[in-house]
Structure 1
Amino acid sequence: MLGIIGKKIGMTSFFDEKGLKVPCTIIVAGPCFVLQKKTLKKDGYNSYQIGFEEKKIKKTKKSLLGHFKKFKSTPKKKIVEFSLKKELKSKKSGDIIKVDIFNENELVDITGFSKGKGFQGVIKRHGFSGVGEKSHGQHNRYRAPGSIGAGSDPSRVFKGTRMAGRMGNKKVTIKKLKILKIDLFKNLLIIKGSVPGTKNSFLKIKKTYEIKYS
């Protein structure tokens, strides 16, 4: 299974063959440098580790500098490892991966971190409707969570109760997104629909693995 690291540029519109306006996301994908190739015999599993986007040496940890030096690479901002079901003999350390590993109209799975929204209440976080209308002696209850558990029995709040808390900034994978267009000169992928993350956030892009039934 092949994959690449990308960076989200933003969203725009794309007109398909029928002239319909389709919302899409523009991603700069690669070129990525293959750092380390892991094999079943040596490491216990098959995978390859790739790096994307140059990073200043003074902002890189010494332990990572040694890792990059070992594989004759400059420091990279983002390192991702793609696991493989079987060894990929065509790729080795030092190779460059570009967007040409994908084809137009192909399906991909994209992983990123969703937008962080900070500490939010139950209405925004879980879609609660609030306590209701204000009555005598009751005020500022429109967006309140209401009761969170019984008093005497069980005398505690159950784990997993939907309450206020941190929202967003979680690892999200959206599957089977269609590639509308590929720009080989600018290393751009135009993906149908939205992808997780803010602008300039890193994304992990890999081909959708489809199970074929006999």
Structure 2
Amino acid sequence: MPPRLSRRLAQLPLHFGAIQAQLTTQNAVPIRAFGIRSLNPPKHSKFNDGPDLPILKSSPAAALERKANTLPLRTGAIAIKNGMTAIFDPDTGKRIPCTVLQLDRVQVIAHKTVDVHGYYAVQMGAGWKHPSNVTKALLGHYSGQGVSPKRHVYEFRVKDRSGLLPVGELVSADWFQEGQYVDARSNTKGKGFAGVMKRHGFGGQDRSHGVSLTHRSLGSAGPSQGGGSRVYPGKKMAGNMGNEQNTVQNLKILKVDAENGLVLVNGSVSGPKGCVVRIQDSIKKPWPKIPETIVEALT
């Protein structure tokens, strides 16, 4: 049952008009004298207090503004890793190992804009897939854009609207220039379930002093972690190794074969043969200079 006032308090006259007039004359705001006090009240941060420090922002527009200097100006491309080879430098005679990447019918499928999605990106597709192996939702997406079904679909972030290519535009190997630097994203080789020595580089246990049959095992996991009574999350243990996305930055393009759709990059790229590699202009190197004729053709 709801609480009731005592009979003595209920008989007292209440002058609401006088109380309201008193509050309006004093310009006072009534303060709640009851409630639950917070156990963790907000504390003053000394790291964001100063006349020259900017105010921290957490809006999507502010996040997009912070990333403006690190986002590439144009889209990337989807490639397939065909393996590794080597070429010889005619000037120095050195053997340079390189990875062969092949572009297969890379085409623009759709756009992502700030007004609708909160960021700028180009949705790219590569390869070909039979319509019978594509869901009806994806078939509607492809048919609405006037593009054939693709086997691989990925997004590439761009800085602003100028980096959005027209829908249906084909991107070939000559989209990249010899001598420029790119970043390659791909999944590493899957190693399956691996122990701590292979996965994390542990030294293993002694081969003597009472250790038997556990020379490559983890050993005790609970002690020496602070609390000592449990295993904290993130403890390095045996488990699945590999098959994680890895980005290799600042790979120099050594050769471009537009007729065969081949791009040769210096060094190695993560992943086995036949894996999907996403290459885009490097964010830590100067971006390539695009000729004015190509810019006018795209616009």
TM-score by length of 1: 0.91
2:262 equivalent to 1:164: no
Residue among 272, 282, 285 paired with 1:198: 272
Query: Match for 1:204: what amino acid?
Result: R
219, 231, 237: which one aligns with 1:146: 219
The one-letter amino acid paired with 1:99 is A
Q: Which runs of 5+ in 1 are unaligned?
A: none
1:29 Cα deviation (Å)?
2.1
Of structures 1 and 2, the one with the larger relative CO (CA 8 A, separation 6+) is 1
SS of 2:220's equivalent in the other structure is: coil
The question of 1:88 aligning with 2:162 is answered yes
Q: Does the 8 A contact of 1:30 with 1:97 survive in 2? A: no
Task: Decide whether the 8 Å contact of 1:134 with 1:141 is kept in 2.
Answer: no
Query: Residue 66 of structure 2 corresponds to which residue in structure 1?
Result: none
Residues 36-92 of structure 1, C-alpha deviations (whole Å, 9 max, x = no match) = 123334443222111100011111111111111111111101111112111126721
Report sequence identity in percent: 37
Aligned partners of 2:101 and 2:253: how far apart in 1? 11
AA of the residue aligned to 1:146: G
Q: Residue 100 of structure 1: SS of its match in structure 2?
A: helix
Q: Secondary structure at the match of 1:148?
A: coil
Structure 2 residue identity aligned to 1:13: A
* Rounded Cα–Cα distance in structure 2 between residues aligned with 1:82 and 1:52: 13
- Structure 2's unaligned 5+ residue stretches are 1-73, 287-299
- Of 93, 97, 105, 2:179 maps to 105
Cα offsets for 1:102-160 (capped at 9, x unmatched): 11111000001111111100000011111011345x42222121221229x53101221
Amino acid in structure 1 at the alignment position of 2:267: G
Q: Does the Cα contact within 8 Å between 1:134 and 1:142 map onto a contact in 2?
A: no
1:207 paired residue number? 281
1:23 corresponds in structure 2 to 97
Superposition TM-score, scaled by structure 2 size: 0.66
SS at match of 1:189: strand
Match of 2:256 in 1: 182
1:13 aligned to 80, 86, 91, which one? 86
The answer to whether structure 1 residue 40 and structure 2 residue 114 are counterparts is yes
- Give the ranges of 4+ consecutive aligned residues of structure 1 lying more than 6 Å apart after TM superposition: none
The count of corresponding residues between Structure 1 and Structure 2 is 211
Distance 2:232 2:112 in 1: 44
Whether contact under 8 Å (2:250, 2:285) holds in the other structure is no
